[in-house]
């Protein structure tokens, strides 16, 4: 993910020191990082702004009310969209044994957010164990990571290289209106195989996956301040109301309400 705490760069790959060290930071510009991993587990999220995170099997869009958990050594990439105020907590590898073993997104509870922000205020040497009071806060953070339910916010990618080519093209241009048969010809795969494998490898049929790609892109565009009418047209919807109705069915609220919360 974009790392607002460069002073932690050495610590995240160190096996020694505190169970948890956290930090927060703000940027008015977009930040990004290519594929990388840490020896420690990482929990991160935003207080303001939107993140997109790439993991092995998909792309996740992460609004401010959610956080991402990455177990130790999980390869990931990320970028922020628009102004960003974020936080991150790094967890020593031995403490990750009882935490989720695969990357996941979780809805950030008030307790987790306040505990992480408290940890962000600690003035400590990352190489030293935590004081007793700090250890209690760290235990709360670990318990929340362990027990909060995972919430799917991602766009799963197919494993077949031919289908991956189609998926990446649609992520780059979600408004592309080509039908399934045209995409199959473009990727040198039969339409039947394309249809069958999209379901078996992503859990979505081709049409539903493309709609989800459009919804994920719409979150980025809302975070960038684009008008709702322009977003609808840019994503290939014939009317703004069609886009708004699908957005509400997908996220449970209108684009205007979502943007206000961002």
> Over the stretch 55-64, which tens digit does the pLDDT of each residue have?
877 777 777 6
**What percentage of the chain carries pLDDT values higher than 90?**
34
On the question of pLDDT at 222 being above 70, the answer is yes
Any idea which architecture 157-261 has in CATH? Orthogonal Bundle (1.10)
d(C-alpha 44, C-alpha 230), whole Å: 31
d(C-alpha 202, C-alpha 207), whole Å: 12
* Confidence (pLDDT) at 124: 61
Task: State the chain's mean pLDDT as an integer.
Answer: 84
Average of per-residue pLDDT across 198-225: 87
* Confidence (pLDDT) at 190: 95
Which value, to the nearest 10 degrees, does the dihedral of the CA atoms of residues 242, 262, 31, 111 take? -130
Vertex 143 angle, CA 26 and 216, to 5°: 50
Fold of 6-147: Jelly Rolls (2.60.120)
Compare 49 and 77 and report the one with higher pLDDT. 77
Per-residue pLDDT band for 126 (boundaries 50, 70, 90) equals low
d(C-alpha 144, C-alpha 159), whole Å: 32
Average of per-residue pLDDT across 113-136: 83
pTM exceeds 0.95: no
Estimate the crossing angle of helix 161-172 against helix 206-223, to 10 degrees: 40
For the chain, which residues make up each domain, given as ranges? 6-147, 157-261
């Amino acid at each position: 993910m974009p790392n607002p705490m460069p002073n932690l760069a050495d610590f995240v790959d160190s096996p020694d020191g505190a169970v948890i060290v956290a930090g927060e930071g703000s940027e008015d510009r977009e930040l990004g990082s290519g594929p990388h991993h840490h020896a420690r587990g990482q929990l991160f999220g935003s207080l303001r702004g939107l993140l997109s995170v790439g993991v092995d099997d998909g792309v996740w869009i992460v609004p401010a009310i959610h956080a991402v958990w990455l177990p130790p050594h999980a390869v990931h990439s990320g970028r922020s969209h628009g102004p960003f105020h974020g936080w991150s907590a790094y967890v020593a590898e031995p403490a990750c044994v009882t935490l989720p073993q695969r990357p996941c997104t979780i809805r950030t509870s008030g307790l987790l957010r306040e505990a992480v922000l408290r940890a962000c205020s600690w003035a400590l040497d990352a190489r030293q164990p935590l004081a007793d009071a700090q250890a209690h806060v760290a235990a709360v953070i670990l318990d929340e990571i362990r027990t909060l339910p995972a919430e799917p916010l991602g766009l799963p990618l197919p494993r077949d290289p031919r289908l991956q080519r189609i998926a990446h093209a649609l992520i780059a241009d979600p408004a592309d209106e080509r039908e399934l048969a045209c995409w199959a010809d473009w990727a040198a795969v039969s339409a039947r195989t394309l249809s069958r494998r999209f379901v078996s490898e992503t859990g979505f049929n081709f049409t539903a996956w493309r709609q989800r790609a459009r919804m994920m892109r719409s979150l980025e565009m809302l975070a960038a301040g684009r008008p709702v009418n322009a977003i609808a047209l840019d994503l290939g919807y014939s009317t703004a109301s069609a886009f708004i109705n699908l957005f509400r069915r997908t996220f449970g609220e209108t684009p205007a309400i979502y943007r206000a919360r961002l």
